[in-house]
Structure 1
Amino acid sequence: MPNLKWPFPLLLLHIFIILANLHRSISIPTSSSDPLVQQQLDKVLGLPGQTFNISFAHYSGYVTVNEKSGRALFYWFIEAQEDPSSKPLVLWLNGGPGCSSIAYGEAEEVGPFHIMADGKTLYLNPYSWNQVANILFLDSPVGVGFSYSNTSSDLLSNGDKRTAEDSLEFLLKWFDRFPQYKGSPFYITGESYAGHYVPQLSQAVVRYNLATRNPINLKGYMVGNALTDDLHDHLGVFQFMWSAGMISDQTYKLLNLFCGFQSFIHSSGACDKILDIASEELGNIDPYSIFTPSCTASFGLSNRLLKRMRMVGRIGEKYDPCTEKHSVVYFNLPEVQKALHVLPEAVPSKWETCSDLIYNNWKDSPKTVLDIYRELIHSRLRIWIFSGDTDSIIPVTSTRYSIDALGLPTVGRWHAWYEDGQVGGWTQEYAGLTFVTVRGAGHEVPLHRPKQALTLIKAFLSGLSMPALEQISDS
């Protein structure tokens, strides 16, 4: 009988998991207060429209970050294609604020499951980042994607500070649910308004680690086409549009006069008027990717530059400017929501890629996060910033102005990096920070240049420089 003391609880656990999976297959929702059991309940058994086999496991569900108000964040975790226990863990965040990391990061950019034009069929992304890492996508804050709160006022009081706090709470509880990844090297990545989220969450993790005996193994963070500093970002946007011949001299001067010191989130009426003029001068182009076709189906919607500057982009290997619309169709399908364990009572009346309600009620947005960079550079995190050079929303000029404001000494020469013998972009290494441009990429770099983006994440995770031509010639 003593031999049964340890195996018997495990036997009960396995029986519970089998029964739970059986219940799930006949549409009876299940949950557990045991994190390890909940991990198995979160396992995705298959996706509608998936016509290909996969070798990796993936999970989706909710983590409650505030019991009192009932705030719960939705995640989708996709393990590495091979030997996930040996791979790092990468968190991906999209911005907006109010835009879904499931809609963009997973379904358009770095995830393996991308959506075809019919909005119902999936195809496997050949450049998915889960080739080199375990990828965790998070819809944050509450009100974004499938994330929800039982307290309706929570949706009207989101801001940078609470988003960072809730995201840290999410991570702590998520690691309890997936303890096998607690010791994995952990990196935070994202783009656009996640230029705020990523360093703010990294700061929260670093400060948490200083006060605990059970630290998160944070190694670094990387952001792309990132909102960083309102003054320098605006200066760079207006200069980019003017130098590319997109706006007139007069509008360029007025933008600098009325919008130069405005917040990207809460601007003045005078600035809005000039942005409307700039939008008319731009014409029907995609400002997120100025040299590629626009989604013509989108021009019944607001064409104001102001709104476009606020929200994350549109646009695989074969360029499709209407990718965002395919996500709207797919994630509104009841069978998809069921497969991803979306709670029926938490399903929004219409799932959206970005929420105007969240954006319009955003409470706090500091004008700069450069102070956080200065703090975290001293913590010896690996910090990379990348920039697609055909984006006019947060263009390469904006990012260069912000990096210059940090006053960091250079430790390597400015040089081109290569992909398949062609220039993939340019790079500069500073003391404590690496800057990489991606040639021909728009606001969503992994969407426009997926192969180059995979090279980027490989270099970042390895801590190596972007590949130079001589490295390719020697290989």
Structure 2
Amino acid sequence: MVFVLCCFPWQLVAARKQIKNLPGFDGLLPFALETGYLEVDEEKGVEFFYYFIESENNPKEDPLLLWLTGGPGCSGFSGLVLEIGPLSFDVQGYTDGLPSLLYKPDSWTQVSNVIFVDSPAGTGFSYSRTLEGLQTSDSETVRQLQNFLSRWLEKHPKFKSNPLYISGDSYGGKIVPVLTHEIAIAKDSDGAPFNLKGYLAGNPFTDRNFDFDAKIPYFHGMALLSDELYESTKKICRGKYLHPSNDNCVKHLDAVTEVITDINPNHILEPYCERRPRPGENHIRKFAKKFYEEISFGDSGLTTECRLLGGIYGAVQIFIGIILTIY
């Protein structure tokens, strides 16, 4: 049965459905969840699967967010249970078998309507009836997502007037701005039904060269590097850090790495929690820990336990810190 569902998903009923309960969740869901398929490319037979959760505050007036998880190829479900959605796995209480789901009262769906999409084709439950439909690209994904949003609003006309925000994280940094631009053009040119207000991008990936070379100035700007080390590294490496041009540059970058070893690469104000420590790094971590323990900086009030950022405040910190991200 699993083989049939995986290989022939187009035989499933592509319709909207209201979901009242989920495996692993105790009782009825305390929020309105809809799932369904929408055809985004008729010629190639591409269908996008989505999860839609109405705002638990005021669905008629609260913003409508299209959320694009990174990857490319990460399911919208991960955004729902691991990032900004109202559910999370009961990790601490897990022993065996089906994992339990817990309700998160501080999710983004408390104040916004959120559409989580499986994109591009082949991601999650999204599929293509043709092999050509699986040979996708960023530009193709943008086009199909624009079609998706247009058709979704056609089937949900009561949300056409809601403020629309295109949002996402990680690899979404390549998709979100372009999709927003295309939607803005469509809105201005043919009066498409988009009440577009802006976009959100958390720890966005844009270009490897640009992103990497921007880290060193960022470290310095946030007082994580001394003026001396920064200026020396900048001069020796000539402002290019992704591909060091000489041995002296490599040594300087090694020194930079040691300095920021104990800093969370996704958000500098959050505890650093590496799930799989790299070989050879433990002694550096221990040294840094001992160093900070011996020097009294006063009580910062920040917790140091490892945790996932999934709530409104944690996630908003990330979005407010778009310029403050180093990964």
Equivalent residue, structure 2, for 1:256? 239
| 2:129 equivalent to 1:150 | yes
Shift of 1:154: 4.5
| 2:85 equivalent to 1:101 | no
Question: What amino acid maps onto 2:212 in structure 1?
Answer: H
Q: Is the 8 A contact 2:44 2:132 kept in 1?
A: no
Shift of 1:279: 10
Question: What amino acid maps onto 1:257 in structure 2?
Answer: K
| 2:132 equivalent to 1:121 | no
Share of identical aligned residues, percent?
31
SS in structure 2 at match of 1:51: coil
Q: Is the 8 A contact 2:57 2:112 kept in 1?
A: no
Shift of 1:112: 0.5
| 2:212 equivalent to 1:212 | no
**1-structure distance, mates of 2:174, 2:111:** 25
Which ranges in structure 2 are unaligned for 5 or more consecutive residues? 1-10, 282-302, 311-318
Question: What amino acid maps onto 1:130 in structure 2?
Answer: T
**1-structure distance, mates of 2:211, 2:33:** 37
Residues 59-458 of structure 1: matches in 2 within 5 Å? 59-103=34-78, 105-117=79-91, 118=94, 120-152=99-131, 154-159=133-138, 161-227=139-205, 233-241=211-219, 244-245=224-225, 253-254=236-237, 256-257=239-240, 259=242, 281=258, 286-289=264-267, 292-296=271-275, 298-299=276-277, 320-321=306-307, 386-387=320-321, 391-393=325-327
| 2:10 equivalent to 1:31 | no
Question: Residue by residue, what CA displacement relative to the aligned partner does 1:159-187 show, whole Å, maximum 9, x if unpaired?
Answer: 2x212111101111212332332333322
Question: What amino acid maps onto 2:265 in structure 1?
Answer: P
Shift of 1:321: 4.9
**2-structure distance, mates of 1:226, 1:136:** 19
**2-structure distance, mates of 1:227, 1:79:** 28
SS in structure 1 at match of 2:18: coil
Q: Is the 8 A contact 2:20 2:28 kept in 1?
A: no
Equivalent residue, structure 1, for 2:8? none
Shift of 1:388: 6.1
Q: Is the 8 A contact 2:71 2:170 kept in 1?
A: yes
Q: Is the 8 A contact 1:70 1:151 kept in 2?
A: yes
**2-structure distance, mates of 1:153, 1:270:** 41
Distance verdict in 2 for CA 1:210–1:322, change over 3 Å: closer
Q: Is the 8 A contact 1:202 1:221 kept in 2?
A: yes
Shift of 1:299: 4.1
**2-structure distance, mates of 1:57, 1:166:** 26
Question: Residue by residue, what CA displacement relative to the aligned partner does 1:38-67 show, whole Å, maximum 9, x if unpaired?
Answer: 33xx22231111125444311123222112
Residues 1-12 of structure 1: matches in 2 within 5 Å? none
Question: What amino acid maps onto 1:147 in structure 2?
Answer: S
**1-structure distance, mates of 2:49, 2:238:** 38
SS in structure 1 at match of 2:167: strand
Equivalent residue, structure 1, for 2:285? none
Higher helix share: 1
Give the TM-score normalised by the residue count of structure 2: 0.67
Distance verdict in 2 for CA 1:212–1:387, change over 3 Å: same
Give the TM-score normalised by the residue count of structure 1: 0.48
Question: What amino acid maps onto 2:177 in structure 1?
Answer: P
Question: What amino acid maps onto 2:155 in structure 1?
Answer: R
SS in structure 2 at match of 1:106: helix
Distance verdict in 2 for CA 1:212–1:193, change over 3 Å: same
Q: Is the 8 A contact 1:64 1:72 kept in 2?
A: yes
Which ranges in structure 1 are unaligned for 5 or more consecutive residues? 1-28, 33-37, 260-267, 304-316, 325-384, 394-475
Equivalent residue, structure 2, for 1:458? none
Question: What amino acid maps onto 1:109 in structure 2?
Answer: E
Shift of 1:239: 2.5
Distance verdict in 2 for CA 1:78–1:270, change over 3 Å: farther
Question: What amino acid maps onto 2:87 in structure 1?
Answer: F
Question: Residue by residue, what CA displacement relative to the aligned partner does 1:137-157 show, whole Å, maximum 9, x if unpaired?
Answer: 112222333333333455454
Q: Is the 8 A contact 1:189 1:223 kept in 2?
A: yes
Q: Is the 8 A contact 1:164 1:201 kept in 2?
A: yes
SS in structure 1 at match of 2:19: coil
SS in structure 2 at match of 1:257: coil
SS in structure 2 at match of 1:84: coil
**1-structure distance, mates of 2:257, 2:245:** 16
